[in-house]
A = this chain, B = another copy of it.
Amino acid sequence: MMKKLVLTGAGGRLGSYLREPLSKLAEELVSSDILEDIGTLYPGERYVKADLADASAIHALLEGADMVVHFGAIGDEAPFEDILGPNIIGAYNVWEAAYQKGVRRVVYASSIHAVGMHAKQDFIDTEVAHRPDTFYGLAKCFAEDLGKMYWDKRGLESVHLRILSCAQVTSARALGTWLSYDDLIQLVTRAIDTPTVGFSVIYGVSDNDRAPVDNSRASHLGYRPRDNAEQFALDILAAEPLADSTDSAQMCHGGAFAAVDLGQSGQAQMSIVDDKKKV
């Protein structure tokens, strides 16, 4: 059993779900976020407020840790200036601190939005080229390349979980992209308990009939989801109008994040999606 496990983003939607199961995998779970507090702690859990963009805070946080589960970040599309601190500099701080403190592995919440501009009919396995659909996705690409470099040059392991959509199923797209909470927990657990992972990428998606991505190259992680969004299909499909096949938001893996904006020059128009539920 690990002595110390660190969870960043512990106050976020997904982080909140992970606190209890992770608290059972180590003698001490150190949960962290930028909030003042995150409510009642689980046995063995300790909370530390820390800003991802603050290198010294992150170095202190990772002191003596065995692994870090890094879910902290702005969890939606935002202006690049806002993404830069927590998502880009924050990722650097986590990996550099992990390396300097002798942490064994980073388990990272990446996203389908790192490859969201690929068409749905295109084959998407875990080795497909980066094709971000937003600044949010671009920062995920950055962290994946960062993780690969720290593995190649410094032997620091990482698993990059490209989560599709870990939220209630409310659209036809989500019939394919749904990741149930139980499957999320299995996924993170496998990323931790697999003896060696090197640098690995895996899609976070349930066993949906309509799952549009392929995890066969990540089979060494032993993730085998059990839930299936098809149970919601009849209701969802009956309610939704036919999709527009000339709209990249319908045709690409990234969904609404993949909407094309050729815009007028002189206008910044990349759409900022409001739905805070999306990963």
In the complex with contacts A100-B265, A172-B195, A237-B193, A145-B132 CB distance below 8 A = yes
Interface with B: A28-36, A37-45, A115-123, A161-169, which one?
A115-123
User: Looking across the interface, which residue of chain B has its beta carbon closest to that of A127?
Assistant: B129
How many angstroms between the C-alpha atoms of A89 and B66 in the bound complex?
33
Among A45-98, those with CB < 8 Å from B are 66, 80, 84, 88-89, 92, 96
This protein's copies in its complex: 6
Least distance between A273 CB and chain B CB atoms (Å): 13
Tell me if B261 and A117 are in contact (CB < 8 A). no
Tell me if B148 and A260 are in contact (CB < 8 A). no
Task: Mark interface residues in A145-184 (1 if CB within 8 Å of B CB, else 0).
Answer: 1101100111101000000000000001101100000000
Tell me if B265 and A220 are in contact (CB < 8 A). no
Q: Which B residues lie within 8 Å of A250 (CB)?
A: 195-196
Tell me if B261 and A154 are in contact (CB < 8 A). yes
In the complex with contacts A104-B242, A152-B131, A251-B196, A84-B89 CB distance below 8 A = yes
Q: Which B residues lie within 8 Å of A216 (CB)?
A: 123, 214, 216
Interface, chain A (partner B; CB < 8 A): 1, 66, 80, 84, 88-89, 92, 96, 99-102, 104, 117, 119-121, 123, 127, 129-134, 137-138, 141-142, 145-146, 148-149, 152-155, 157, 172-173, 175-176, 193-200, 208-214, 216-217, 219-224, 230, 233, 237-238, 240, 242-246, 250-251, 258-263, 265-268, 270
